[in-house]
């Protein structure tokens, strides 16, 4: 099946630094979703984006729905140790299935 | 507390045995999904269902079967025909309005090990 291009694959950053990751696709999506998964657990929905150009925040997290509808970005400000995990982007086609990125592994040095 | 439950958390089986993974949701969602996750990889869709007594194959349905007899429940059977069944299995659900599905919420997962 189709997969999104998510980058970077992994990041090892200092506590307090800002983090940026993104997802791109050759297809247009109507909804972009960002999930976080911790080891041995199911993904938890962080942010949902429904309109092209939309910018949405959830605490220290900010995500944007690209204007072309083919990309999305997630930023985490002032990272803390509990931010570690795998972050997945997902695109939702109208009335259809979710397409997932391969994930960005985030590690934080305290 | 609304959510999705999967049981058991860990499951061990011998090769050649069928095994059924449970998924229950009390979110009143119409649509339910099963995904498989392998180490270092994203999620791959096995089966999904948008209505009771109806379900569709996802990208990797071979060796799996499902049923949807109740809105709240969507069990997955991993059959002996699945060549590489050891994986982390995730169940999810979402609202369905008209033909449109919305963001999916995931259960805690079941780790299946087949030896």
Is the Cβ of A43 closer than 8 Å to some Cβ of chain B?
Answer: yes
Distance in Å, alpha carbon of B16 to nearest chain A alpha carbon:
25
Is the Cβ of A39 closer than 8 Å to some Cβ of chain B?
Answer: no
Chain B residues in contact with A103 (beta carbon < 8 A): 42
Distance in Å, alpha carbon of A97 to nearest chain B alpha carbon:
8
What would the mean pLDDT of B83-100 be, rounded to a whole number?
89
pLDDT at B42: 83
Chain A residues in contact with B107 (beta carbon < 8 A): 42
What would the mean pLDDT of B21-30 be, rounded to a whole number?
96
- Which two structure tokens, joined as six digits, stand for B112? 């299946």
CB pairs under 8 A between A and B: 59
The answer to whether the CB of B88 falls within 8 A of the CB of B109 is yes
The answer to whether the CB of B46 falls within 8 A of the CB of B36 is yes
Residues 3-42 of B with CB under 8 A from A: 4, 6, 33, 41-42
Is the Cβ of B85 closer than 8 Å to some Cβ of chain A?
Answer: no
Per-residue pLDDT of chain A (110 residues; tens, 9 = 90+): 567 899 999 999 999 999 999 999 998 998 999 999 999 999 999 999 999 999 999 999 999 999 999 999 999 999 999 999 999 999 987 657 889 999 999 999 98
Give me the helices (H) in chain A, please: none
Give Cα separations from A22 to A63, A65, B25, B57 (angstroms): 9, 10, 31, 29
User: What's the mean per-residue pLDDT of chain B?
Assistant: 93
Q: State the DSSP code for B73.
A: B
Query: What is the rounded CA–CA span in Å between residue B80 and residue B93?
Result: 26
CB contact under 8 A, B99 and A3: no
CB contact under 8 A, A97 and B58: yes
Query: What is the rounded CA–CA span in Å between residue B29 and residue B48?
Result: 13
pLDDT at position B2 over 80: no
- Nearest CB partner across the interface for A33, out of B58, B90, B103: B103
pLDDT at A97: 80
pLDDT at B98: 73
CB contact under 8 A, B90 and A92: no
pLDDT at B4: 97
**CA-based nearest residue to A81, from A109, A46, A44, A43:** A109
- Nearest CB partner across the interface for A45, out of B88, B103, B111: B103
pLDDT in tens, B38-66: 987 789 999 999 999 999 999 999 999 99
Give residue B1's pLDDT band: very low, low, confident or very high (50, 70, 90).
low
Residue in chain A nearest B48 by alpha carbon: A97
């Amino acid at each position: 099946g189709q997969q999104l291009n998510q980058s970077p694959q992994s990041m090892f950053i200092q506590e307090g630094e800002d983090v940026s990751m993104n997802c791109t696709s050759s297809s247009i999506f109507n909804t972009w979703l960002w999930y976080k998964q911790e080891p041995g657990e199911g993904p938890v929905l962080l942010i949902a984006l429904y309109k092209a150009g939309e910018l949405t925040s959830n605490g220290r997290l900010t995500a944007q729905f690209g204007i072309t509808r083919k990309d999305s970005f997630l930023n985490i400000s002032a990272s803390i140790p509990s931010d570690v995990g795998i972050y997945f982007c997902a695109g939702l086609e109208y009335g259809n299935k979710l397409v997932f990125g391969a994930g960005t592994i985030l590690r934080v040095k305290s | 507390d609304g959510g999705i439950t999967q049981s058991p958390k860990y499951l061990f089986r011998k090769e050649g045995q069928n095994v059924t993974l449970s998924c229950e949701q009390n979110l009143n969602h119409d649509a339910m999904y099963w995904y498989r996750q392998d180490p270092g990889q994203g999620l791959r869709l096995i089966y999904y269902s948008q209505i009771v007594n109806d379900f569709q194959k996802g990208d990797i349905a071979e060796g799996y079967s499902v049923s949807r007899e109740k809105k709240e429940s969507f069990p997955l059977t991993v059959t002996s025909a699945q060549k590489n069944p050891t994986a982390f299995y995730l169940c999810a659900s979402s609202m369905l309005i008209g033909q449109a599905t919305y963001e999916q919420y995931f259960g805690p997962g079941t780790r299946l090990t087949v030896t």
